[in-house]
Amino acid sequence: MIEKVGKVRLDLSKYPGEDFYTDGAVEDELLQIVQTVREEDYLKLIEEKRQWPVLYHLSPLRGNIVDWLPITKRDKVLEVGSGCGAITGALARKAGDVACVDLSKKRSLINAYRHSQYENIVIHVGNFRDIEPDLPDDYDYICLIGAFEYGQGYIGGDTPYEDFLKILMRHLKKDGRLIIAIENQFGLKYFAGCAEDHIGTYFGGIEGYAGDGNARTFGRAGLEGIFRACNVPEWHFYYPYPDYKFMTALYSDEYLPGKGELSNNLRNFDRDRMLLFDEKRAFDEILRERLFPVFSNSYLALLGPACPVEYVKYSNDRAGKFAVRTQIEKKLNAGEKTDDTGTPYGEKAEKIVSKLPLTEEAGTHIMGMYAAYQKLTERYAGGGLHVNRCELPDERDASKGVRFEFVEGTPLSEIMDACLERGDVEAFYKWFHEFVRRIEYHEEYEAADFDLVFSNILVSGDQWTLIDYEWTFDRAIPAKKLAYRAAYCYMLENEKRRALDEGRLIRELGITGEEAEECRKQEWSFQNYVNGGICSMAQLRDYINRGVVVPQEWMNRDLEAANAYRMQIYEDRGNGFSETGSYFVPGAYQNENAIDMTIQVDKEVKTLRMDPLRDSCIVYLKEMLWNGQKVSLKNRRLFRSNGEMKKMTDRETGEPFLGFVFPTTDPNILFQVERLKCEGKNTLSVKMEIARLPVGMAKEMADAGMFKRGVLS
């Protein structure tokens, strides 16, 4: 029961004969795509299709979640829940053998066709419980990427997740690693208004999955409880950001994010979302309180021996020739042991920073960083800017990338943020001028780091270290232009920073408005050059047209409407109107377009003022009863108003009424009570029809005399 698609083998010996799980027609579309479209054209196709399933299954960013793992060609990997193969390709490029398990034949065919060139992939199609007994027990890595949460469906029973994990661990070799990537039940995005990924309800996971569903996620403590119940001897947590699906950065307990780093939070591709608060600012506070492991949107749990990598950043949402991976890892010290791949680890290991090409063509770009280091070191020798040391592990093999010294310090951007947060603008400019002074050293030298932004400089005492010079060009660039770009990018990154006076920045640098505009245009050209015309994830979210609803705006509108739709009564007892002599009539509004109220009026009241709405509007005064008797609405002497007032006639009943148009947000109708027969206590009943209007429209209607001849009756 083995079928072959290219070099990929599909084992159908356990396939039940039909797919019990399917996403419908979109899977047929995906199958057609992988059969006819080259993998290098997927990004262009994703932009053209603008569909969530196409993005989710075909985006190359999906593979980031496993790409960083120290898997080698000596390793055997098991991938459970391989689906359409979003992760399989990344595993096949690294491992010696990859065994996939998936319930769906259609999805497995999609996987096979898109990776048909790999001879190290076998896909087992069928239920995991049927396939599992025949799997070997010597896998170096077992990967559950978005699969562990379906343990109830895979295994069933009272303890499905514990049972699932125990079964999997039987197939892991000694010192092997089991990888679980899963959403955090208490991820910050769910508090901020994203729907739960699996059941699609707001706050569904936070509230404990009260409804039905075949999937559930866990917080960190919940996962650790499962690991303990399964006697897992060792585990380590990583934190994919923004989440594990489209990870661009990976943090660890040894290297947590810094303030201001977590700014890419609007990633709702599959559903609309609410926006209850600013997640970036909330993350900054969470980081300050050291609570990030509790609120990270996703987890990657590594069960098994520690991995030397502490931090990873992916830059593969841009042109392939610039696609790189930056990582911080532990470096082997003399006499220290390595893991089975020869990778160093241990408490005593020092840290190094590496940049590695993610494509063959990016190798040239990577090697250029070493040349940039040499040129910038020569330029700034004797100046106030230290260039972080760069090394070439192998000048003949670009795939091994470049290495940098790990530098301790505070990002200049963080120092400047602190100045602005305490309102000390002059301190900000003190740091800014020091920045300019240091970068302008030998500015005539024909080598300049175009991306010399504040976040790329670490400050430690008097030492300023440039830690990233990826975009160094062999030409002189005036320091004032580099400084303006640094400030411009700084302001774009954060809403609060935009309070800076750009005019002052320009004056402080001594550049003209025209030069500043030229720099801004140059910046967008540079971004387009780097991206190679590839659509960003933020743009894709907008193209897929998933909305962001801000409940605060709705609430403000509702509160405004609630405040507007209130009948306020003022009583003039001979001393004029005043707020202290006014009151609101509860229940006056039957709906937004109808008032029906009854109030009591003392005989001392001379004039009654009715404010039916706090907005410009049209009002039809249809009926008034004074002590049960109809008030003649033809008697103009009884009424005054700050709007246009007309006598009108109801076309159906022939009854007269008064019409008002109010081009003001403070409409009022004055009723001359003193002209009526008054008793000690009097009852006034009023019926009105009302409609809000934009003030401009109300003014035009009043000016045009549209009440003439009963046009609006």
Pairwise CA distance, residues 278 & 218, whole Å: 24
CB distance 659 to 562 below 8 Å: no
Pairwise CA distance, residues 486 & 533, whole Å: 23
3-state helix, strand, coil in the chain (%, to 5): 35, 25, 40
Q: Is residue 545 part of a domain?
A: no
Note the residue count of the chain. 713
pLDDT of residue 348: 53
Nearest alpha-carbon partner for 359 in 312, 313, 402, 323: 323
Is 525 in the same domain as 590?
no
Q: Is residue 56 part of a domain?
A: yes
Q: Does the structure show a pLDDT above 90 at 337?
A: no
| Last-in-domain residue among 506, 531, 556 | 531
Instruction: Select, from the ranges 101-115, 335-349, 480-494, the one with the highest average predicted confidence (pLDDT).
Output: 101-115
Q: Is residue 626 part of a domain?
A: yes
Is 579 in the same domain as 472?
no
Report, as an integer, the average pLDDT of 548-565.
Answer: 79
Nearest alpha-carbon partner for 616 in 590, 588, 642: 642
Q: Does the structure show a pLDDT above 70 at 440?
A: yes
Per-residue pLDDT band at 530 (split at 50, 70, 90): very high
pLDDT of residue 706: 62
Report, as an integer, the average pLDDT of 379-394.
Answer: 94
Per-residue pLDDT tens over the stretch 6-42: 999 999 999 999 888 788 889 999 999 999 999 989 9
Is 213 in the same domain as 171?
yes
Domain containing 81 — which CATH number?
3.40.50.150
Evaluated on CA atoms 492, 496, 500, 502, the torsion sign reads: positive
Is 498 in the same domain as 598?
no
Is 501 in the same domain as 578?
no
- Hey, what's the torsion of the CAs at 301, 302, 304, 306, to 10 degrees? -120
pLDDT of residue 1: 85
Pairwise CA distance, residues 391 & 174, whole Å: 35
Per-residue pLDDT tens over the stretch 681-701: 899 999 999 999 999 999 988
Amino acid in position 20: F
Nearest alpha-carbon partner for 178 in 85, 300, 284: 300
Report, as an integer, the average pLDDT of 481-502.
Answer: 88
Per-residue pLDDT band at 559 (split at 50, 70, 90): confident
pLDDT of residue 496: 78
Per-residue pLDDT tens over the stretch 103-148: 999 999 999 999 999 999 999 999 999 999 999 999 999 999 999 9
| Last-in-domain residue among 245, 274, 308 | 308
Q: Does the structure show a pLDDT above 90 at 253?
A: yes
Is 526 in the same domain as 445?
yes
Q: Is residue 483 part of a domain?
A: yes
Pairwise CA distance, residues 268 & 551, whole Å: 16
Per-residue pLDDT tens over the stretch 165-178: 999 999 999 999 99
pLDDT of residue 704: 78
Torsions phi, psi for 638 (to 5 deg) = -80, -15
Nearest alpha-carbon partner for 224 in 162, 149, 282, 305: 162
Q: How far apart are the first and last CA of the chain?
A: 80
Helix (H) or strand (E) holding 375: helix 362-380
CB distance 620 to 667 below 8 Å: no
Is 123 in the same domain as 270?
yes
Q: Is residue 91 part of a domain?
A: yes
Q: Is the pTM of this model over 0.85?
A: no
Per-residue pLDDT tens over the stretch 391-432: 999 988 999 999 999 999 999 999 999 999 899 999 999 999
Q: Does the structure show a pLDDT above 60 at 712?
A: no
Sort 231 into a burial class: Cβ within 10 Å, 0-12 / 13-18 / 19+: exposed
Q: Is residue 537 part of a domain?
A: no
Integer angstrom CA distances of residue 72 from 398, 565, 640: 18, 69, 89
Q: Does the structure show a pLDDT above 80 at 349?
A: no
Helix (H) or strand (E) holding 660: strand 656-662
CB distance 146 to 89 below 8 Å: no
pLDDT of residue 550: 86
pLDDT of residue 707: 56
pLDDT of residue 212: 64
Nearest alpha-carbon partner for 107 in 133, 132, 88, 131: 88
Pairwise CA distance, residues 576 & 420, whole Å: 51
Is 300 in the same domain as 378?
no
Per-residue pLDDT band at 533 (split at 50, 70, 90): confident
Q: What is the DSSP track for 565-616? A: S--EEEEESSS---GGGEEE-TT-EEETTEEEEEEEEETT-SEEEEE--SS-
Is 279 in the same domain as 402?
no
Sort 115 into a burial class: Cβ within 10 Å, 0-12 / 13-18 / 19+: buried
Pairwise CA distance, residues 137 & 123, whole Å: 17
In the DSSP assignment, the letter for residue 73 is T
Sort 446 into a burial class: Cβ within 10 Å, 0-12 / 13-18 / 19+: exposed
Angle between the N-to-C axes of helices 425-439 and 412-421, in degrees from 0 to 180, rounded to the nearest 10: 160
Nearest alpha-carbon partner for 284 in 313, 263, 255: 263
| Last-in-domain residue among 508, 531, 554 | 531
Is 373 in the same domain as 450?
yes
- Report the chain's mean pLDDT, rounded to a whole number: 91
Q: Is residue 99 part of a domain?
A: yes
pLDDT of residue 395: 87
Percent with pLDDT over 70 in the chain: 96
Q: What is the DSSP track for 152-193? A: HHHT-SSSHHHHHHHHHHTTEEEEEEEEEEEEBTT-HHHHHT
Helix (H) or strand (E) holding 509: helix 502-509
Is 509 in the same domain as 581?
no
Angle between the N-to-C axes of helices 160-169 and 220-229, in degrees from 0 to 180, rounded to the nearest 10: 60
Q: Does the structure show a pLDDT above 50 at 335?
A: no
pLDDT of residue 332: 60
Tally of domains in the chain: 3
Q: Is residue 550 part of a domain?
A: no
Q: Decide: helix, strand or coil at residue 429.
A: helix
Helix (H) or strand (E) holding 463: strand 463-466
Q: What is the domain extent for residue 620?
A: 564-710
Report, as an integer, the average pLDDT of 241-268.
Answer: 93
Is 52 in the same domain as 179?
yes
Pairwise CA distance, residues 309 & 315, whole Å: 17
